[in-house]
């Protein structure tokens, strides 16, 4: 049993940390409050090959193992969680195309996606369907060699930059509902496709989150992911395992940033003639945070390592996402308490972490859904505790 990263993973982590320290941390507070899009940071990420994380090497990507994948999101989220979002849904969509796409779809899209020449996202959620994806209403009706697609998607990260945009639709009305669901790789230049307003958010700023409307968009039949109807939900659910490792890793990064800020402040801030780090009440908070963050990190790396071994990781990714996101929530609040009034100030990083943390408890399936996934795996016998 080995709890160490490989030499290659350690070297990769050091490159990521240096990037975050140099390119993200110096501007994150100012740009986040100004609502500024992190264009320069994204260009550097393209140069580093990070848009090709989940693209196989044969198509010009990094073909990263899942532990390295988690390291990317942990380190970038430690600097600014919104920036991590620019490659989050992109990486999930790239993985889906690489795993399920036809040979032609892979050749057409993956090389440009790997280099960031194209960017992508994924459109699942609708105004009336989030957790219950089988309840989506976006329809794709066959008309010769095209589908006529109508519907509305919401909470779409990278919506203004996605080309193509994988869209979950109903290509037929059948029971069970999942048999009539497909993913279409939609060209945003098609008539009837429009990106609406940017949704105002508590946190997770830097990247855009938008509404997308499809009004009788005529999408070629060749755009069906994998070339076969009716497999969309399975394709998406497989990708969401990757997405939950992504969210778990982001949560670890946010929690680590909150802890780092709290520890540094506790050492510097004095009260009653001594640093507040000398007070037992503060020490207990720091001890709890450090322990919980390390447990969250190990759960996340464990889930990633299991995925690297070729396993389905519904339960493992669910555990990591659930636990790590709850830790991020607690860490950001406890860090704010340690900072006192300064933690509530926009001049300190803690208030941003406090606003960013709740997304991880909601995104990629709420934590209540994760608990249900975990429980079902245990009850069915498919999931077991231990190694």
Cβ-proximal residues to 147 (8 Å cutoff; 6+ apart), any chain: 140, 141, 169, 171, 184, 218, 219, 220, 221, 223
* Ramachandran category for residue 151: left, alpha or beta (phi over 0 → left; psi -120 to 50 → alpha): left
In the chain, the DSSP E strands lie at: 139-143, 146-157, 165-170, 181-186, 193-198, 209-220, 270-271, 274-275
Q: Nearest-CA neighbor of 7 among 67, 77, 61, 48?
A: 67
Tokens linked to 330: 């607690």
Tokens linked to 67: 């532990």
Query: Out of 23, 32, 229, 364, which one is annotated catalytic?
Result: 364
Using only the alpha carbons of the chain, give its radius of gyration: 21
Tokens linked to 118: 């194209």
Structural contact between residues 77 and 84, judged by C-beta atoms closer than 8 angstroms: yes
Active site residue 4: no
Q: Is the dihedral of CA 133, 99, 317, 329 positive or negative?
A: negative
DSSP element (H, E) containing 358:
helix 350-362
Q: How many other C-beta atoms can be found within 10 angstroms of the C-beta atom of residue 290? A: 15
DSSP element (H, E) containing 321:
helix 314-339
Torsion of CA 361, 243, 116, 106, to 10 degrees: -160
Residue 121 CB-half CA count within 13 A: 29
Tokens linked to 29: 């507070």
CB-based burial, 186-201: b 16+ in 10 Å, e otherwise: bebeeeebebeeeeee
Give the active site residues. 364
């Amino acid at each position: 049993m080995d709890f160490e990263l490989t030499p290659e993973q350690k070297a990769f982590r050091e490159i990521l940390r240096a990037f975050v320290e140099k390119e993200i941390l110096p501007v994150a507070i100012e740009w986040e409050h100004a609502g500024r899009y992190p264009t320069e940071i994204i260009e550097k990420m393209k140069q580093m090959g990070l848009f090709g994380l989940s693209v196989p090497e044969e198509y010009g990507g990094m073909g990263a193992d899942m532990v390295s994948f988690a390291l990317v999101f942990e380190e970038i989220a430690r600097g600014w969680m919104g920036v991590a979002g620019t490659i989050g849904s992109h990486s999930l969509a790239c993985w889906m195309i690489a795993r399920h796409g036809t040979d032609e779809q892979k050749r057409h899209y993956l090389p440009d996606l790997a280099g960031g020449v194209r960017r992508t996202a994924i459109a699942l959620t609708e105004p009336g369907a989030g957790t219950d994806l089988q309840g989506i209403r976006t329809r794709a009706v066959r008309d010769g060699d095209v589908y006529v697609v109508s519907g509305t998607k919401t909470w779409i990260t990278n919506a203004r930059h996605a080309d193509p945009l994988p869209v979950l639709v109903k290509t037929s009305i059948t029971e069970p509902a999942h048999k009539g669901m497909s993913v279409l790789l939609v060209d945003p230049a098609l008539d009837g496709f429009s990106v609406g307003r940017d949704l105002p958010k508590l946190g997770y700023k830097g990247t855009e989150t938008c509404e997308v409307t499809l009004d009788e968009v005529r999408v070629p039949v060749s755009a069906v992911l994998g070339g076969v109807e009716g497999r969309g939900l399975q394709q998406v659910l497989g990708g969401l395992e990757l997405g939950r490792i992504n969210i778990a890793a982001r949560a670890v990064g946010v929690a680590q940033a909150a802890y780092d800020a709290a520890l540094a402040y506790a050492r510097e801030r004095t009260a009653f003639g001594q640093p507040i780090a000398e007070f037992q009440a503060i020490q207990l908070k720091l001890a709890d945070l450090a322990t919980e963050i390390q447990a969250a990190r190990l759960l996340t790396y464990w889930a990633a390592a299991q995925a690297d071994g070729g396993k389905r990781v519904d339960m493992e990714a669910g555990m990591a996402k659930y636990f790590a996101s709850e830790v991020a929530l607690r860490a950001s609040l406890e860090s704010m308490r340690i900072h006192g009034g300064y933690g509530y100030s926009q001049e300190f990083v803690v208030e941003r972490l406090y606003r960013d943390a709740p997304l991880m408890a909601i995104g990629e399936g709420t934590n209540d859904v994760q608990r249900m996934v975990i429980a079902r795996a245990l009850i069915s016998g498919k999931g077991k505790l231990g190694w």
